[in-house]
Structure 1
Amino acid sequence: MTALDNVLPYSRYLARLVEARPALEADISRRLGQAPDRVALADHLAAQSLTEDSLKPALRHFKQWAYAWVGLRDLAGLAPLEEVTETMTLIADLAVAKALEVIGTGLEARYGAPRNARGEHQQLIVIGMGKLGGRELNVSSDIDLIFVYPDDGETDGERVISNFEFFSRLGRQLISAIAEVTGDGQVFRVDMRLRPNGDSGPLVCSFEMLENYFITQGREWERYAWIKARPMTGQRWEELEAIRRPFVFRKYLDFGAINAMRDLHAQIRREVAKKDMANHIKLGPGGIREIEFIAQVFQLIRGGRDRPLQIKPTLHVLPLLAERGILSLAGAQELAAAYRFLRRLEHRLQYLDDAQTHRLPDKSEDQDLVARAKGYVCYQALLAELDAHRETVSQHFEAVFADPNRDGHDLDRLWQGAGERAVEAFASLGFREPEAAAERLAALHAGGRYRQMAQGIRERFDALVPRALAAAAALPNPDETLTRLLDLLEAVSRRAAYLALLQQYPQALGKVAQLMGSSSWAAQYLQQHPILLDELLDARLLDTPQDWVGFRAELEQRLEEVEPDTERQMDLLREAHHAQVFRLLTQDISGLLQLEKLSDHLSELADIMVDKALRFAWKKLATRHRDAPKFAVISYGKLGGKELGYASDLDMVYLFEDEDPDAGRIYSRLATRLSTWLSAQTPAGMLFETDLRLRPNGDSGLPVVSLDSFRQYQLENAWPWEHQALTRARFSAGDKAVGEKFEQIRIEILRQKRDPEKLREDVLAMRQRMYDAHATKGDEVEHLFNLKQDPGGLIDVEFLVQYLVLGHAHVHPELCGNLGNIALLRIAAGLGLIPAERAETVRDAYREYRRLQHALRLNNQKSRVERISVLPQIEAVCGLWRVVFDR
């Protein structure tokens, strides 16, 4: 008994093949412990002398030999699924390439080589589609092909024909070589119906024809099909990819793909029901196709913005979806396990007679063979596990593709027009100003923007508005929330993808309502950047701590992937920044972040953005004399003190240390380019407003200065307020060595011994100028308090700390640390420079002021409160002010 005798009963086809070719059994028996690979397969094919006459039998014998090798290893339990599908893909690749080589040589001998107008040799690109394209070919599959060639032209032989005619002949002969049934069988069945215009279209098309077809006629299901398109032969694949990618993968988040895929699946389901295909493990409920749909719909939705999702194999896509929080890790693992089970079962069905079948067998003897080939003691045990997997797949499929709007909504009539009863309806829903709400809704319904919507968009809009009404009514402030929600829906109404997202995911609409009800600034931010709606689908939005190391590395990778596309890189920076700000915002509004921690995160995020902008701006300079610039970004103010808010400007100074004679000119260009990268308005918005006025000599100074010039300026020409600003300055991005030398200069300046009386006069004079320019004046002084500008407010605390640092750092170097005002007040008290009790009350006052200021800014309100509400804090700050300044 040979090693094959135990497995041959599971495949009648292989048993017949081995019986007909006795030498094959001995050959495969020797190879059974070794996995097929490209080298072994290619060598076997190359060993045969192939001509046009011998091509067909040679290819069929090659297919039978390779099929027997991988099939018998699989049935013996030696081959994982990936080996089987990769080997079947290699068989197809090698057979197509060899056939193309032999047939193409013969055609060129008759007609000459096909050339374009520039005289360049043209080659046929055979595109593998479906499972062939994804390197997932099953053991009895047909192969889906499309034939494309780059340019029109004609052949250069004595009998001239057009390139179109040449490649059409080549394509027809290739199909015959692979698919014709001869006495030796066939290599693969060939299906060409996925080509442009299907069976009614030409067999081959040029790049130009293909691109025009995509633009003018390409349908949603073709986008789905072209996800897996893979060039198998020819050259100029990058040009082909530049045509395919924008057709398949949109630049925006394409949530409209869900509806298109849902419709396509519904068509398949109808065909399945019509043909009684409940036992079809590919197309039936919970089958292979549903797993593929789940993976590929998210590729269509997100692949244009998330390049790694453009990969082809289904088993590679699923873990990526889990990494991104699109599927749960358990869900992705369940789908992968089901996919492996179904694909291996599919193969055992097909091994029986080498038939392209996906139906469970009706005959009991075949049921028994399939069950034992899968390792089950009986068919019922196999069915039990199959049913469990199909049920799991169906649940996941419904979770993704179920139509949440199929049953309508209780408030549909209110949106469609309740007339005089609308006010009453809004009142019953808890709106405080039902008349205003009814008028707003009626104006929207009668407005030009709504009436001009395309039918499909209007249907989505009609489904969303009643749900927005319900979401607003469920919150404590329904009036404000509804106004903000309707503003958002109007703003995104021209972008069907955003409406589709909110329509498909009602939980996202609920989160939007909560966010907008909590903060008008958040509502405005979301309206400016609606792409952030996608963030609300991530279940980890509130739970996942910030991983800035991982974020920095991932952002670097994404920027490198699109190098040297400056426009896309600038957009990527903005999109990444907006997404992180939005995540922090949702955690902030949910009460999960203390203000100090929020400011730390926003400051770290800004540092990363500046660092990446600097790095890639440098790479774009035409004149560069080193790999990395000896250039540093120094942050001042809010960023320097790590107290950045959501919409804070960046106060920065650019420094360099470089002996190159052209360094000043080169770094001036870099400084200008960097400011553009940070503050330019692109389709994705803007990163930051930047302010460079703190550089030496302010607006009249150079955009970037050397370290030596900066030190000299600080020692000889800087104003006292510029030394105050240095107390909150730090290195943010660029060359760390330059940053370390800046810190040495900063400490040197701060530790200068100063005349106490002169320092006192200078600080008080500067503070008075700020009082005169910005403090509350007139009758409002008695009732209102500006948290930042008024006496006893935030700036007074900052000036107190700066005065203490500049006046005492020459004795107490610990005051030089850029630790923030709260920490420095504690240090000053510990040194005996201020009373400890007063320091503690001022620390508390500073925290409270920042908390109040932050809350006001979240709702776009000025930093003013009722004076009486903060009297204890005002008195605490003013009390310490009097102690320190003796007034």
Structure 2
Amino acid sequence: MNGKATAASAGDKPFFARTLRDLAPLDKKNAEALLRELLKKAAEKECSGISALKDKPAAAFLSAVLDLSPYLRTVLLRRPMIVEPLLEMPLPKRLEALMLEIAESTEGDSVTEAGLMTALRQLKLEGHALIALGDLSGLFVTKDTTFWLSRLAEECVGAAVRFLLRDAHEAGKLKLPDPKHPARDSGWIILAMGKFGAFELNYSSDIDLIVFIDEHSPAITDPYECVETFSRLTRRLVRILQDRTADGYVFRTDLRLRPDPGSTPLAIPVGAALNYYEGRGQNWERAAMIKARPVAGDIDAGKRVIAELAPYVWRKYLDYAAIADVHSIKRQIHAHKGHGEIAVRGHNVKLGRGGIREIEFFVQTQQLIAGGRFPQLRGSRTVDMLAALHGLGWISEEARDTLAQQYGFLRDVEHRIQMIADEQTHMLPEDDENFLRVAYMMGYNDGEVFATDFRNALKTVENHYAALFEQAQDLTGEAGNLVFTGDVDDPDTLKTLQNFGFERPSDICRVIRTWHFGRYRATQSAEARERLTELTPVLLKAFGATARADEALMRFDGMIKGLPAGIQLFSLLQSNPRLLDLLVLIMGAAPRLADIITRKPHIFDGMLDPAIFADVPTRAYLAERLEGFLGPSKVYEDILDRLRIFAAEHRFLIGIRLLTGAIDGMRAGKAFADLADLVIDRALQAVIDEFAAKHGKVKGGRIAILGMGKLGSRELTAGSDIDLILLYDHDEREEESDGDKPLPPSQYYMRLTQRLIAALSAPTAEGVLYDVDFRLRPSGNKGPVATHIDAFRKYQRTEAWTWEHMALTRARPVAGDATFFAEIEADVSEILGMPRDTAKIAKDVAEMRAMIESEKPPSDAWDLKLVAGGIIDLEFIAQFAVLTGNVDGPIIAQSTAEVLTKLKPDFIDAATTDSLVEAAHLYTSITQIIRLCLNGDVKREDFPPGLDELLCRACDLPDLERVEAQLGETAKSVRNTFDDLLRDARKQGKSPK
């Protein structure tokens, strides 16, 4: 495919001579100032032609772009010459010329790898900026934008591959038949996968590649060495494309879609790959191969591989396992579908409800089902395949047109999100400024109008998606018999249950007879049994669709067994199918949440509020609801009980948002922390008031609770305990409090702290607020539970160990006297900023990590906190950077990932920083879900059935083997960075301040 058709469709006028979309800037004065700066930079770079834009309509467009996109602003101000050719030529023509420049960047004998890396980065940056201008101007529609982005990636990969092949030829590793055309008959096959393969790349996309070797290629001189040779070349290819240099990067590159990535080389012989796909290939791999196409290297050999894989991808008939896999793909969508309103800010445009993935999944599942019989369904482009599905009568004309339109709209939103900072994110910003950047870049002048249109688009997709799957061919047939009377199993009922997906149908029959015979309190009333009997077929079908249906239903049985009454719940589930879907998800994937519902069924009532999925659980949102829930409560015990109820319900609701994909792991961590802050603060107020009634107050007294650990860094999980330090201050002349039973200040605050600990952690009928730990206070368990601020300052400056300063990097005032907070934050910042011996800190950190490894070895590879290269290593890297002055900007109230993004470039290079941040996000996503779903430390083999799918969805990977492979690679990379960093640091002197 080439760009000629696209170029022709875009017109032949010079770009700046066209009528461009009327974009409004956020700040008109800033936009005008930025345009003046661009013209000034252009004059300095001798791009005098750009000055002709000054008073033309195109200038308004360009100034708005500079104001709206910080990324494009940086690029264009640094390289204004990018836009000058557009004064005289059409944009597609300039892009074609740029593609030719990329293709020719490897020509000549003097090209070096470093030189190529520089050239590709600069040319890609130019292409990126030009494509963005075409997109924002309205010249390009979505299909044009994704085509040019894919074409840009293809040319860059092709150029790097040709360079590496020539280099291998000159080194004697290969014997190319035609060195002038090195890719021809080279045997090196580069397949583009996913959006790259389908010409659907997004603006800041990774590129997914699979690399094969044609063992019969004449270029291969030693068949026994070819795997090593091409794997080494592939490793260099990835480095050329994705390593960050002063010029940035070309494309982040992902090779994990290859067969069995945890145990296969980077380049796989075709024969071995075909054996794998035919013998062990998964259905998701069939789905992935729908979009595969050769983009570089030996194109003809790549086409032969695709042809050989066709019978594997396009089966004429589906076996039962394939049908189950298709339903599994569907379940991943249903898991987060349809719970009330949809939040706009913070919504994941790709993976969230009503998002891009829902359209893509529907198309791909129908392709898997029928592509073997209908060649029309074998295309790779989503919109084209919607048309093909309509042509076959599978979807209506209205569904085709509406979904195609919304697909374009959502892809455009995705591109503009990524144009803000060139980040691979799909989340609509939560803050006002960046949210408006997206809205304005979409051509809106009003954020609320955009929000309404965006929400309507998501609802439209979601509604069509549900209807499409209902209309799609029913692969399971009619339900069949469901008879549970008498003591003997009905043979046809056993068959029906087996068809539903139950492996022990006789046990299921026994359980349901128990319900129907009224042997539980919840089923003793005739009305409850009647409702449950009506609900049973729906329940069985829903549980049967889960990964291990028997276990999920047994967990539901345990819940019914513990209910005091059942009529309300059964009626609720009967009238709210979406709640039933959610309950099935919880029972199949999250035994911890299932236990909570079993113990406190009323907590499920919170699910009835449809607004909970529309509202991101921000601090303001939670604070408003807490005030409303507490109401006029004045009695101490009543306040604490209401706090326990509120905290339990909202921990549950935050968890449900995480479970359904409404929020991600990072947002969940902040929400859990915000909830803890608010509840601790109100508990502290109640304790202070209750304590003052007897002992009065200390004149000038101030209290602040310092949150430490995960609370301090706002990374709490559903099951986290909380680390606290209580600091106080008072008028130094006061010797005792002013109440009926006065106490000396030190004793006053010590006893008040003990009362607070009891309020937070004492078990009552409403449960425990939080398990609290005060051991991080000065002198640990040996010191008083309450610490005077002066003692804290002195201890931290003169006596604290390195590990205590490491802990202090995550300290944050969370409750108490707000006027005290700024003072404490200043103290903490000053203590962390003290000059230190880098080598000593490095030695202490290494010894501490070794001690933890010796005393607390990881239980398995999924023990992400303790595993080598896991969460502790990441936290230690961040803390080491803070203590040695290698972090830019504030660190208080920052997560580990946020601290890592601020590492100074002379401390760790940008590429390594990126990989550390990605590791932090990966670990957070997985840890949040595991802690939400499981009680305590559970080994991999004990994961409940639905958890696998949740983890795959959170990582956007197709199966748990891929997740495990990514965890292994990530841990290895983090540990290498940790070791290298500390080894190098021991050679240094004082830390820079």
Larger RCO (CA within 8 A; separation ≥ 6): 2
* TM-score normalised by the chain length of structure 2: 0.44
* TM-score normalised by the chain length of structure 1: 0.49
Look at both structures and tell me which one has the larger radius of gyration over its CA atoms. 1
